[in-house]
Amino acid sequence: MAKIIGLTGGIGSGKTTIAKYFKEMGVPVYIADDEAKKIMQSKSIIEDIKSVFGKDVFENEVLNRSKLAEIVFTNSDKLNQLNTIIHPAVKKDFELWLQENKKYNYVIYEAAILFESGRYKDCDIVITVTAPEEVRIERVIKRDNTSRKEVLNRIKMQWKDEERIHKSNFIINNEHIEKAKEEVVKILKILNIKQNQS
C-alpha cells in the first residue's frame, strides 16, 4: 500500500500550488478541499447541512458557500458542526482513492486542516507549507476577492505555523515559488521517489 504524505499549510500558503508540483513530478495527489466541495453537492450531505444550518444557506436548492463560510469562520462551534458532517465522507472517499493508487510508493493527501481534523495521524510523513502572513493575506484577498478581515478570521480558526512545524517532517517555505519547487525536488530525493513513479 502507498505511504501517505500529508501536505498542509495555512490559508494562502500556496499548498495547492505545491501539491500540483508534486503531481507534475509523478506523485498522485488528493486535494481534500476540492473533493469536499464535490461531496457537499450530494443529496445526503445537503440534507445534513440543512438540518444544522437551515435553508438560509441555500438559494434555489444550491448551497451558497459564501453564506456558509460567513457563519463557520466566525463561530468555531458551527465550524466543528460542519466538519462533523463533511470529514467522515471525505475520509471514505480518500480511502477509495487510495485503493485506486495503491501501486505507488507514495501519495499526497493535501488538506488545509490536516492537524485540526486529526487526519495527520493517518499520514506516514507530514509536510507543512509556510509563507509570511502578509504574503498569505495578499494572496487570499486577490484569489477570493475578499476582505482582509475575512482572511484574518480564517487564519484565526487554523493552527499557527509554529504548531504545524513542530509536528511536521518537512517544511517548504513558499514565499518564492521557484525556491519552493527546489524544496519539493529535495524532498523527493530524500524519499527516493522517482519522477513519474509507477
196 domain residue, yes or no: no
Distances (CA, A) of 33 to 37, 55, 96, 118, 198: 6, 23, 16, 15, 26
Strand order in the sheet with 125-130: 29-31, 106-110, 3-9, 125-130, 170-173
The response to whether 13 counts as a known ligand-binding position is yes
C-alpha cell at 39: 461531496
Rounded Cα distance, 187 and 159, in Å: 23
Q: pLDDT tens, 102-130? A: 999 999 999 999 999 899 999 999 999 99
Known binding residue 16? Answer is yes
**149 annotated as ligand-binding:** no
Q: Is a pLDDT exceeding 80 seen at residue 40?
A: yes
What is the tally of structural domains in the chain?
Answer: 1
Other C-beta atoms closer than 10 Å to the C-beta of 186 total 12
Asked, for residue 198, whether it belongs to a domain, the answer is: no
CATH value at residue 9: 3.40.50.300
Assess if residue 70 is contained within a domain. yes
Q: Is 118 annotated as a binding residue?
A: no
Beta-bridge partner residues of 127: 7, 170
Residue 197, in any domain of the structure: no
Q: What is the pLDDT of residues 75-85, one digit of tens each?
A: 989 999 999 99
By residue range, what is the domain housing residue 122?
A: 3-190
Instruction: Answer yes or no: is 54 a known binding residue.
Output: no
Q: Is residue 11 part of a domain?
A: yes
pLDDT at 53 over 90: yes
Alpha carbon distance 138, 75 (integer Å): 23
Write the CB contacts of 56 (distance below 8 Å, at least 6 apart in sequence).
Answer: 67
Give the pLDDT confidence score for residue 192 in this predicted structure: 79
Say if 195 falls within a structural domain: no
CA angle, corner 46, sides to 45 and 48, nearest 5?
Answer: 65
